[in-house]
Structure 1
């Protein structure tokens, strides 16, 4: 009788990235215990790959490793839809506090972005927080009459469909164009967000238009990558109920007791 030796994946970056998304997406909740042997068996990772991945996740602050207890998820991520500006979980209330405003003469780049060639441009920068914790900085530009209501003072932020008419009374939200990038935090923005210089940031460039297609605002948000994940969900018809999928998904990472 011949036996087939199972080939294992030795690269830890695959295990690390898979586990990081499982945690940052919220599909593995805070307090969930991760079982290294189950992860090795279910995903074909080598023991060293899983251990290296766990070590990196611990450095990221996403898991906690304790001798004789195991590795548990310790992160409560903040998923924000790519096409919106607030967390998808309504219990994660986002607030903003204005940091600075500045008026400048329009230039060709901002004219191209805003579609306004005659007016001065107002820049407004705000600190974004969830539960009192700073999670990002939003910088916006608007021209002429469009800049009159840019994020005044300090308040709760709402979805674009609700927030847009608040900032621009009588105008209905139409669409948002988005580009996503990444960078590391320089000392200046690190100080604002309360993170170490060199920490990873997610950057989203956005252009907001009304229901008629007129551009009202250009800007970019810089989020802490250790707290925020940008999402875009698409509903897919399946034969399983959502709760069943969650149970099946979690079993891939949990220790399985064998029946005696």
Structure 2
């Protein structure tokens, strides 16, 4: 038996041994993204312990990449690390449907406020329709309702929304319908009291944020919802938004520009929603079928 043959057998043995062992990737970015995905999907809950060895085994990642990924999550403010408590999840990532109508305003039952969303009206006014808005919405109405709102989840602001709606009826009547919408949503929220599902998390449809807002659209505008057109881009927080959202000026925000149309293809609302980039994601739930336009 030649030396070369023995050497080849040794190489093959080593190759088979390596193939039989799981290979751990060393990308901290990949581990970070996978951990964020698990948080976003609701697979981890508040006070969940993050243990390096467990994560390394479950994600097929090296211990060092896990360590760096956890440091990145801590920098995002999603987890806290302490010598006694260990590494635990303290904040959730909220998943907002990109193509869904957001509520105009709603409150949650005080007993479940930390598990739901509170939308605060910051400003509202009736204004003469600017020429640009009239052109963008293809409307001839003389007045619009302008508003700005802020949503709070788990005690922290998560988005600021501003928009306009063509005023096709008396202003007092319009605001009375808003009050009726709020009452309808509050009634649904009261039935959800005691649940602990967060908007965007599995089971979140039991909260006010999960009701069919198309129904609220119909209550508000007295005509069925038709469709919406949305555009999403990343922008930096200006001084006003940074102050409202509690972030550094220039921090990345997800901006969703949306026009909501009724069943007759009439534009009823034009809005801009700035979501905190560290606390929110936007998801399309539209199903694309093969051969569909």
Q: Give the match for residue 61 of structure 2.
A: 45
Q: Give the match for residue 63 of structure 1.
A: 79
Give the root-mean-square deviation of aligned CA atoms. 3.4
SS state at 1:59 partner: helix
Q: Does the alignment pair 1:199 with 2:251? A: yes
Would the aligned equivalents of 2:119 and 2:149 in 1 still touch at CA under 8 Å?
A: no
Change (3 A) 1:192 1:63: same
| 1:61-90 superposed Cα distances (whole Å, 9 cap, x missing partner) | 111222365322111343322223259x99
Q: Give the match for residue 239 of structure 1.
A: none
Distance 2:79 2:28 in 1: 16
Q: Does the alignment pair 1:129 with 2:182? A: no
Q: Give the match for residue 84 of structure 1.
A: 101
Q: How many residues align?
A: 232
Change (3 A) 1:132 1:48: closer
Distance 1:97 1:10 in 2: 47
SS state at 1:17 partner: helix
Shift of 1:208: 0.7
Where structure 2 has 5 or more consecutive residues not aligned to the other structure, the ranges are 1-12, 186-207, 288-293
Would the aligned equivalents of 1:23 and 1:75 in 2 still touch at CA under 8 Å?
A: no
Name whichever structure is richer in strand by fraction: 1
Would the aligned equivalents of 2:56 and 2:62 in 1 still touch at CA under 8 Å?
A: yes
1:142-153 matched pairs, under 5 angstroms? 142-145=165-168, 148=171, 149=174
Q: Give the match for residue 27 of structure 1.
A: 43
Which of 200, 215, 228 lines up with 2:267 in the alignment? 215
SS state at 1:41 partner: helix
Q: Give the match for residue 97 of structure 1.
A: 121
> Normalising by structure 1, what TM-score?
0.73
Change (3 A) 1:171 1:134: same
Q: Give the match for residue 138 of structure 2.
A: 115
Structure with max Cα Rg: 2
Where structure 1 has 5 or more consecutive residues not aligned to the other structure, the ranges are 236-260
Distance 1:192 1:132 in 2: 13
Higher relative contact order (CA 8 A, sep 6+): 1
Would the aligned equivalents of 2:46 and 2:88 in 1 still touch at CA under 8 Å?
A: yes
Change (3 A) 1:67 1:129: closer
> Normalising by structure 2, what TM-score?
0.66
Would the aligned equivalents of 1:23 and 1:62 in 2 still touch at CA under 8 Å?
A: no
